[in-house]
Amino acid sequence: MTQPITGHCLCGAVTYRAEAEPLSVAICHCEDCQRQSGAAFSVNVLVDRASFQLEGATLKTFQTVGEDSGQPRERIFCAECGSPLISILAEADDMVAVKAGTLDDKSWLAPELELFTDSAQPWVHAAHGEERGLFPRSLPT
Protein backbone atom coordinates (compact mmCIF):
# COMPACT_ATOMS: atom_id res chain seq x y z
CA MET A 1 0.00 0.00 0.00
CA THR A 2 1.75 3.14 -1.15
CA GLN A 3 -1.06 5.65 -1.20
CA PRO A 4 -2.86 7.20 1.77
CA ILE A 5 -5.63 5.29 3.49
CA THR A 6 -8.88 7.22 3.30
CA GLY A 7 -12.45 6.53 4.31
CA HIS A 8 -15.70 7.85 5.66
CA CYS A 9 -18.86 6.92 7.52
CA LEU A 10 -22.08 5.86 5.80
CA CYS A 11 -23.55 9.38 5.69
CA GLY A 12 -20.25 11.09 4.82
CA ALA A 13 -20.26 13.44 7.83
CA VAL A 14 -16.98 11.96 9.13
CA THR A 15 -13.86 11.38 7.04
CA TYR A 16 -10.37 10.14 7.82
CA ARG A 17 -6.93 9.85 6.31
CA ALA A 18 -3.72 8.05 7.26
CA GLU A 19 -0.46 8.76 5.45
CA ALA A 20 1.54 5.85 6.92
CA GLU A 21 1.63 2.25 5.74
CA PRO A 22 -0.73 -0.02 7.68
CA LEU A 23 0.96 -1.90 10.52
CA SER A 24 -1.33 -4.90 10.12
CA VAL A 25 -4.78 -6.05 9.06
CA ALA A 26 -6.53 -8.10 11.73
CA ILE A 27 -9.83 -9.88 12.16
CA CYS A 28 -11.19 -9.61 15.69
CA HIS A 29 -13.75 -12.10 16.97
CA CYS A 30 -14.15 -10.60 20.47
CA GLU A 31 -17.72 -10.19 21.68
CA ASP A 32 -17.45 -6.39 21.76
CA CYS A 33 -16.37 -6.28 18.10
CA GLN A 34 -19.19 -8.64 17.19
CA ARG A 35 -21.71 -6.35 18.88
CA GLN A 36 -20.20 -3.13 17.52
CA SER A 37 -20.02 -4.41 13.95
CA GLY A 38 -23.35 -6.21 14.05
CA ALA A 39 -21.51 -9.12 12.46
CA ALA A 40 -19.52 -12.20 13.47
CA PHE A 41 -16.24 -10.26 13.54
CA SER A 42 -14.61 -6.92 12.81
CA VAL A 43 -11.88 -6.37 10.23
CA ASN A 44 -9.42 -3.75 11.44
CA VAL A 45 -6.57 -1.94 9.72
CA LEU A 46 -3.98 -0.95 12.32
CA VAL A 47 -2.26 2.36 11.57
CA ASP A 48 0.13 4.63 13.40
CA ARG A 49 -1.95 7.12 15.40
CA ALA A 50 0.42 10.01 14.64
CA SER A 51 -0.31 9.62 10.91
CA PHE A 52 -4.09 9.43 11.37
CA GLN A 53 -6.50 12.35 10.93
CA LEU A 54 -10.22 12.08 11.73
CA GLU A 55 -12.56 14.94 10.83
CA GLY A 56 -16.25 15.49 11.44
CA ALA A 57 -18.66 17.21 13.77
CA THR A 58 -20.75 14.14 14.53
CA LEU A 59 -18.12 12.04 16.33
CA LYS A 60 -19.16 10.16 19.43
CA THR A 61 -17.16 7.81 21.68
CA PHE A 62 -18.37 4.77 23.57
CA GLN A 63 -15.95 3.19 26.05
CA THR A 64 -15.67 -0.53 26.69
CA VAL A 65 -13.19 -2.63 28.66
CA GLY A 66 -10.95 -5.22 27.02
CA GLU A 67 -11.90 -8.83 27.82
CA ASP A 68 -8.39 -9.97 28.68
CA SER A 69 -6.53 -6.75 29.48
CA GLY A 70 -9.12 -4.96 31.59
CA GLN A 71 -7.94 -1.79 29.81
CA PRO A 72 -10.32 0.77 28.31
CA ARG A 73 -11.16 0.88 24.61
CA GLU A 74 -12.46 3.99 22.90
CA ARG A 75 -14.90 3.02 20.15
CA ILE A 76 -15.43 6.07 17.98
CA PHE A 77 -18.38 6.28 15.62
CA CYS A 78 -20.55 8.74 13.71
CA ALA A 79 -23.45 9.86 15.89
CA GLU A 80 -25.47 10.71 12.78
CA CYS A 81 -25.45 7.36 10.94
CA GLY A 82 -23.95 5.05 13.59
CA SER A 83 -21.00 3.83 11.51
CA PRO A 84 -18.17 2.49 13.69
CA LEU A 85 -14.96 4.16 12.47
CA ILE A 86 -12.04 3.43 14.78
CA SER A 87 -11.09 1.84 18.07
CA ILE A 88 -8.24 2.92 20.31
CA LEU A 89 -6.88 0.47 22.89
CA ALA A 90 -5.35 1.98 26.04
CA GLU A 91 -2.52 -0.55 26.06
CA ALA A 92 -1.63 0.31 22.44
CA ASP A 93 -2.65 3.96 22.20
CA ASP A 94 0.04 4.70 19.61
CA MET A 95 -2.14 2.83 17.08
CA VAL A 96 -5.64 3.25 15.69
CA ALA A 97 -7.78 0.30 14.60
CA VAL A 98 -9.64 1.56 11.53
CA LYS A 99 -12.84 -0.35 10.75
CA ALA A 100 -12.10 -1.77 7.30
CA GLY A 101 -15.68 -1.51 6.06
CA THR A 102 -15.36 2.29 6.09
CA LEU A 103 -12.31 2.40 3.80
CA ASP A 104 -12.72 4.07 0.41
CA ASP A 105 -10.65 1.27 -1.18
CA LYS A 106 -10.95 -2.18 0.38
CA SER A 107 -9.49 -4.11 -2.57
CA TRP A 108 -6.01 -4.43 -1.06
CA LEU A 109 -7.11 -5.87 2.30
CA ALA A 110 -5.49 -9.16 3.25
CA PRO A 111 -5.99 -10.03 6.93
CA GLU A 112 -2.78 -11.30 8.48
CA LEU A 113 -4.06 -12.47 11.84
CA GLU A 114 -7.21 -13.29 13.79
CA LEU A 115 -7.75 -12.34 17.41
CA PHE A 116 -10.08 -13.82 20.05
CA THR A 117 -10.66 -16.93 17.96
CA ASP A 118 -12.07 -18.63 21.08
CA SER A 119 -15.04 -16.26 20.66
CA ALA A 120 -15.41 -16.91 16.92
CA GLN A 121 -18.79 -18.17 15.84
CA PRO A 122 -18.55 -21.84 14.86
CA TRP A 123 -20.01 -21.18 11.40
CA VAL A 124 -17.50 -18.47 10.40
CA HIS A 125 -15.11 -20.95 8.81
CA ALA A 126 -16.69 -23.58 6.61
CA ALA A 127 -15.92 -27.12 7.74
CA HIS A 128 -13.42 -29.00 5.60
CA GLY A 129 -15.13 -30.02 2.38
CA GLU A 130 -18.29 -28.04 3.15
CA GLU A 131 -19.54 -25.84 0.35
CA ARG A 132 -21.53 -22.65 0.65
CA GLY A 133 -23.60 -20.94 -2.00
CA LEU A 134 -21.82 -18.01 -3.59
CA PHE A 135 -23.92 -15.22 -5.07
CA PRO A 136 -22.10 -12.43 -6.95
CA ARG A 137 -24.85 -9.95 -6.08
CA SER A 138 -28.05 -10.42 -4.11
CA LEU A 139 -30.03 -13.56 -3.32
CA PRO A 140 -31.66 -15.06 -6.38
CA THR A 141 -35.39 -14.42 -6.74
What pTM, to 2 d.p., does this model score?
0.88
- Give counts: helices (H), strands (E), the chain: 1, 10
Alpha carbon distance 118, 120 (integer Å): 6
User: Which domains, from first to last, does the chain contain?
Assistant: 5-119 (2.170.150.70)
What is the rounded average pLDDT of the residues 109-132? 83
pLDDT value of position 125 = 78
Is the pLDDT assigned to residue 136 strictly greater than 90? no
Closest CA to 53 of 91, 96, 10: 96
Alpha carbon distance 19, 61 (integer Å): 23
For 23-72, what is each residue's pLDDT tens digit?
Answer: 999 999 999 999 999 999 999 999 999 999 999 999 999 999 988 889 99
DSSP output for 98-110: EEGGGBS--TT--
